[in-house]
Structure 1
Amino acid sequence: MPRNHRPGPPPRVSVIVPARDAMPGITRAVTSAMEQTLGLSRLDIIAVDDGSADGTAEELDRLAADCPSLHVVRDPHPCRGGTGGPRNTGLARATGDFVFFLDADARLAPDALRRMVAMADQNGTDVVLGKMVSPDGRGVPKAVFRHNQLRTDIHSSHAYASLEPCKLFRRSLIERLRLRFPAHLRHGEGKPFTAAAYLNASGISVVADYDCYHLGPNPGRAAPGLAERVEAMRPLFETAARHTRSGARRDAVMRHHIRRELCPALRALPREDETEVRERFLPELRRWALAHCSDALFPTLTAPERLMVHLLRTGRFEDLLSVVRNARRDARCGHLVEKGSVYWLHPFFRDPDAEVPDACFDVTDRLPVRHHLEGAGWHGRSTLRVRGRAAIDGLAADPEEDRAELVLRRREARDEVRIPVDAASEDDPARFEADVDIATADGGTPLRPGVWDVFLDVRAQGISRTVRFGGRHDDLLDIGTARRVVAAGPGLRARVTPYFTSPYRNLSLDIGPAPRGAPCEVTEAVWHPSDKGTLVVAGRLLPPGTPARGRVLRLRAEHTDGRVHDHPVRFAAGHPAGAFTARLPVRDLGRGRWTVTLAVVTPGDDQGQGRAAPPAAPVPPPARLPGARWVRRGRPYYAKPLMGRGEVTLELRVAPVRLLAAVRNRLGLN
């Protein structure tokens, strides 16, 4: 069916739907695209029929009859294989600013495309991931969708763990790179496409607060055989090598593919014909291991992975097959502790016939620490008592020799405070208590203001493992009730807020000066809808009913280096509750971290000439305040709220967009 051309501006999104024998799910998939809140006039839906014989083609024609934005394409050369060929056919006809690949058995939530396009527009990103959900518990990426990410990359997020192409791609990126899907693949054909887009994108955004993409029911397909696995891996390794440079970033990408594709293929070897494995597959897998597993990457693999890759790289196929066949049995082997290192006692360990280096069996940095936070509460005037359990898995600790420590580390500083823990039970040596005295913890002096992250240094048999603490805790433990103003030395008082970080829920302490009597409260903090880079704060005086006469307020932004910018607060004329609004032109602030408060200025001294700093009221960080972007002197800048740190008042990070990094990404130089 020929393509109908519409007058007017090009659509924002071309939605490409490959379909082959896709009844009845195709109706729901296409309808979900037609019902997007973005609007049909801004959509270009391209459904590509790949030689269906179950009524899919007729159903697409029926839907297109009433929808001028839906175009049905008959693939002239149906491959009846994977979805790569139909997707390429759709790409050749796409005209939208963006492209979204919608599977025929999936569906889009109504507001998905509008949110994803807005995210790309606001942040200038080339790829947007929308949160994926599954109706039947099928595995979907979770780590990348813990929270919205305005602008990130594969090295600062978990995006690379999601290589399926059900994402929003900027079409100019696709055309610049001449990206197309490998049409001959039946398995994993979307991964090389997505990997290349990630590695060349100017930025990646994540929409995590809305269920954008609903997978279809699990079709129950059989797992791909080794031939399909190898065929799918080849373009992945080629893509990663082509679009990265040697170094740590390439190693990070290759590590993903070695752990997710190469090692699982090696574990599947016993299920294949042994002659074909030796003659056809292992030589090619060996070439990839030699070419792409660098000496710097190798130690970052787990011990079983290191052993398999070492045997593969040295061409010892018989030993490799033996290791894979006996993997389940050998996983239960114990450990040897020797000179501060722990080794996996695999049968090949120090076997003179095997000749495998000890480094393949070193698990010192990989022994899991089992830990649990049981409670945290105030004991006395300034002491926070932390209770929990901790032990290094597989190693018995000596209560007299192996004393654990609670470690406090202040963010954005090198300060570290160690606090010995005491055994809390003779019957359970893993149980402990630790007292953190805010007034004396730092060598007899108070803990300095700032955010202190809590770690545990756990020891056993001379081995030390330090882990972040608090992520595993009792479900009913409410650390938020433990906020307190404590004595922090002679004449000094501090506000201490224990809290769980987001999204990993680890324990931290926010220590700051004790609050004075608040002169006002903030009811709203939002970005001005039309004045880019301007924060609008609304509130009222305290106590309620306080008249505005004689009160002078300033909305204050204070930099970490001490610079202060004050801006006037305007009271609502005649308002009985002392309501006010203020505008903070964040776009005029310099780069760095700024704290936002409301300052009370003494009448007659409102020009900042007072002898003492005026009292201030916090501007609470809103639950959902997005970032803002603007252009200053021809250069794009952004402001990002610092959230999830237990902040009492709003903090903003202001910085220019890194144009050089964006250009380098586009040119494939990173």
Structure 2
Amino acid sequence: MLKITAAVPTYNSEHFISRCLDSLVQQTMPNDEYEIICIDDCSQDGTVSILKKYGEQYPNIKVIEREKNSGGPGEPRNQAIRAASGEYIFFIDSDDYLGIETFERMYQFAKVHDSDIVLGKMVGVNGRPVPQAIFKESKAEADLIKSPLVYSIGPTKLFKVSLLRKYDIMFPSNIQATEDQVFVMKAYLKADKISVLGDYDYYYAVQHDGEHMTFAYVAPQDYYGAMKVIIDMIHESRLSRTDKMKFMAKFLNRHFDFSRTTDFTITIEDEQEQLEWMTELHHFVERNIPREIDKLVHSHTRLKLYFVRNNDLKGLKQFESDKENMIQFTAVKNGHIIANYPSIVPYHLSEDELVIDDRNKISHYVSKFQIKNNSFSIKGSVTHTALKPEYQSLQKLSGIWVHRERKIEKIISPVYSKDGEFEFLTKFTDLAVNEGDIGVWDFFIESDIDGYKKRARIGNSREKYPYSKHAKYIGNNGKYAYSARPYFTKTFDNLSVEIKKQEMLKVEFRNHDSDQYLTFIFPGSQLFFPKQSLLLLECNKQEFLIPIKKQISSAEGTVIQVDRNLVEQKFVPSFLQSTDIVLSINSYQTVLVPKKDVSVYFCSKNIEKKLWCFKIRKKVDLFIQSDQSKFYLTAR
């Protein structure tokens, strides 16, 4: 048995089918381990000719020419299921394409975890919207109820063929739209394990304008008939009754937000046709959706259901207009956002029924970042999308650092906050207090308006970050030396800080007789040290504190300079002529390494020295030692 069957339905695809096929034949999986079945639905252009040329060149490509146009991709996909020789089948639209490691990665993951269905991270091309929340992280087993799986019900996934054949899961041929939703929802409900991969760009979905598969007009009776099939499948599934209700609510949220129902009062101009759609939607909801679901859906879905259950097209149309201008009708009361929409007034709803907290988002912008001394400054602004501008002056802002693993929080107050403008100053020493603080801290901002609280990750909307991606502060909390590196997360581009124990760094020593300064260089490291740091030098069993004259931090590296004359007063000239400051320190015991670069170990250590007739103790942040000399970078 082959590992994978790639199923590609085509119709008038001559302008883009080559890109799709190229991505399939270039897969890193050996071509004798998978097959490509192309099912042409009576194309009127040169698609078939292109398919045949590829078939002649690649023996694992099979071309099936349908004798009659089916009107959609469903029946061609069914033919691929019947003809498949692979253990798994992957459906690809002819205008889309795959990452070249897709088959190898997905199959290996599916085999390791015995997955029935595997979703691979999708990428939108040319502005094509694709599901994102489900691909936040890879999961061997995604929970159907708790995860956003219901928002990804297109068929472009990896399915175990035996699952499809065992439960006769096919694309329904008696409808011309939403057949993919019926297919995927049935597969979801029958699968024992659904996996998600978010570690690679698996599927590229392309925004297009031309004709690809033929689609006929769908009457509202047929459309909501297909929705009834999905609801019936949920009712008949093996889920518990509680989970059935939760899953049905999630599906309805998706349906009202991302389907033909979403804005039919706007996209359909003919009022009689609007009435037909409203009537069928009314019948579908009243006959199939238990009223207890109304309490489980999102707020705007709940409010829409009042109009739908009463077959109130006029009220629904006004509601759609109201929610587009929601900030005119919202208010904060008793810790919640209340929507006093004029359209809903006739239904005499209670205040609790008018809560729309979930419709509000924090809109944020960071205008400035600054690493200064031992602190990290963030300036910016926040607004609320569902509230009038005057509410900005009433909000109390907090900055919240959340440890990603331990989930503990460290809350900071703004040094400035007015009308939504803010400045937060975080001391790195507050993030790195003990051993448990090592790890990643994610930054949130929380707004409190009269008891209504909203929290959001921030950083992805910002001015250009002024530092390199490897820029970090080097500090010491008395227990260990650490680095604090601000960065922006890969997937959502939000601000985080990584705290790590600081160990070795490469350092170079520059000594030219003509130079005014002795220079220590950390190449490729943009470092920030505590303010007024000192170098403590030891030579011939004598130690001296030398002020750092200059500290220059850039993307190319960090330079620390001390006054040559001051050093020459303390040390013999032979030290300054030495080129043997070459060692690596990986513990408190020094290990000499015969190279002309120096590795530096950041550690916590108290040193004691005599100053006149007194002994003083200094906490050391940076310690460098060679066979001739010792250097300590410390804070005053």
TM-score by length of 1: 0.64
**Taking structure 1 as reference, are residues 209 and 224 closer, same or farther at Cα in structure 2, changes over 3 Å only?**
farther
Alpha-carbon separation, structure 2, partners of 1:371 and 1:510: 22
- Report SS of the residue matched to 2:465: coil
- 1:202-281 aligned at under 5 Å gives the runs 202-206=193-197, 209-210=200-201, 212-213=203-204, 215=206, 217-219=208-210, 227=220, 229-243=223-237, 245-246=239-240, 250=244, 253-262=247-256, 264=259, 265=261, 267-269=263-265, 271=268, 273=273, 276-277=276-277, 279-281=279-281
Partner of 1:388: 380
Residues 372-425 of structure 1 deviation map (CA, whole Å, 9 limit, x = unaligned): 33344445x5444333323444253586x753222233344464333222326x
Report the CA distance shift for 1:137/1:485 in structure 2 as closer, same or farther (over 3 A): closer
* 1:84/1:184 contact within 8 Å kept: no
Aligned residue in 1 for 2:537: none
Alignment of 1:443-462 (within 5 A): 449-450=437-438, 451-462=440-451
- Counterpart residue type for residue 340 of structure 2: L
Q: Which residue of 4, 7, 29 corresponds with 1:16?
A: 7
Amino acid at match of 1:504: F
Q: Are 1:128 and 2:121 matched, yes or no?
A: no
1:250/1:373 Cα in 2 relative to 1: closer, same or farther (>3 Å)?
Answer: farther
Matches within 5 A, 1:326-475: 327-329=320-322, 331-332=324-325, 333-348=328-343, 351=345, 353-364=346-357, 366-379=359-372, 382-392=374-384, 393-394=387-388, 396-397=390-391, 402-413=395-406, 415-423=408-416, 429-439=419-429, 449-450=437-438, 451-475=440-464
AA aligned opposite 1:171: V
- Tell me the secondary structure at the aligned position of residue 204 of structure 1: strand
1:500 is displaced (CA, Å) by 2.9
Judge conservation of contact 2:155–2:180 (CA < 8 Å) in 1.
Answer: yes
- Mapped pair 1:103 → 2:93: yes
Structure 2 counterpart of 1:90 = 80
The alpha-carbon deviation at position 136 of structure 1 amounts to 4.0
In structure 2, distance between residues paired with 1:207 and 1:80: 34
Q: Which amino acid aligns with 2:426?
A: V
Question: Structure 1 residues 11, 413: closer, same or farther in 2, change over 3 A?
Answer: closer
State the SS of the aligned residue for 1:190: helix
Contact 2:12 2:43 in 1 (8 A): yes
2:60 equivalent in structure 1:
69
For residues 133 and 357 of structure 1, the distance between their equivalents in structure 2, rounded to whole angstroms, comes to 43
Are 2:168 and 1:172 aligned? no
Deviation at 1:153, TM superposition (A): 1.7
Give the Å deviation of 1:281: 4.0
Alpha-carbon distance, 1:97 to partner = 1.4
| Structure 2: distance between partners of 1:15 and 1:105 | 14
Once the two structures are superposed, the pairs formed by residues 452-601 of structure 1 within 5 Å of their partners are: 452-478=441-467, 480=469, 483-488=472-477, 494-511=482-499, 513=501, 515=503
Report which stretch shifted further, 184-193 or 239-248. Answer: 239-248
- The answer to whether the 8 Å contact 2:74/2:173 transfers is yes
Aligned partners of 1:368, 1:131: CA distance in 2, in Å?
Answer: 25
Alpha-carbon deviation of 1:144? 4.7
Cα drift, residue 370 of structure 1: 2.7
Q: Which residue of 2 aligns with 1:45?
A: 36
> What is residue 631 of structure 2 aligned with on the other side?
none
Distance in 1 of aligned mates of 2:23 and 2:476:
59
Deviations for 1:54-101, whole angstroms, at most 9, x for unmatched residues?
57667656654665434444557x462222222212211212112122
The 10-residue stretch of structure 1 (455-464 or 53-62) with the greater mean CA deviation from structure 2:
53-62
Contact 1:127 1:169 in 2 (8 A): yes
Q: Give the Cα–Cα distance (whole angstroms) in 1 for the partners of residues 445 and 55 of structure 2.
A: 61
Q: Which amino acid aligns with 1:118?
A: Q
Q: Please state how far the C-alpha of 1:317 moved relative to its aligned partner.
A: 1.2
Counterpart CA distance in 2 for 1:506 and 1:468 is 6
- Assess, with a 3 A threshold, how the Cα gap between structure 1 residues 220 and 103 changes in structure 2: closer, same or farther: closer
Question: In structure 2, do the counterparts of structure 1 residues 113 and 215 end up closer, same or farther at CA, with 3 Å as the change threshold?
Answer: farther
The alpha carbon displacement at 1:135 in A equals 5.4
Q: Please tell me whether Structure 1 or Structure 2 has the larger radius of gyration of its CA atoms.
A: 2
Q: Distance in 1 between matches of 2:169 and 2:307?
A: 36
Deviation per residue, 1:94-127 (Å, 9 max, x gap): 1211212233444455554334333434444333
- Render the CA deviation track for 1:107-163: whole Å, top value 9, x for unaligned: 4555543343334344443333445456543333445556x7363425576554332
Give, in whole Å, the separation in 2 of the partners of 1:211 and 1:441. Answer: 37
SS, match of residue 317 in structure 1: coil
The SS at the match of 2:290 is helix
Q: Is the 8 A contact 2:486 2:495 kept in 1?
A: yes
Match of 2:302 in 1: 306
Q: Equivalent residue of 1:87, what SS?
A: helix
Contact 1:97 1:172 in 2 (8 A): yes
| Count of residue correspondences | 515
Compared CA separation, residues 124 and 355, structure 1 to 2 (3 A):
same
Match of 1:149 among 138, 147, 171: 138
1:307 Cα deviation after fit:
1.0
Q: TM-score, normalised by structure 2?
A: 0.67
Structure 1 residues 90 and 518 mapped into 2: Cα distance closer, same or farther (>3 Å)?
same
Q: Which residue is 1:569 aligned to?
A: none
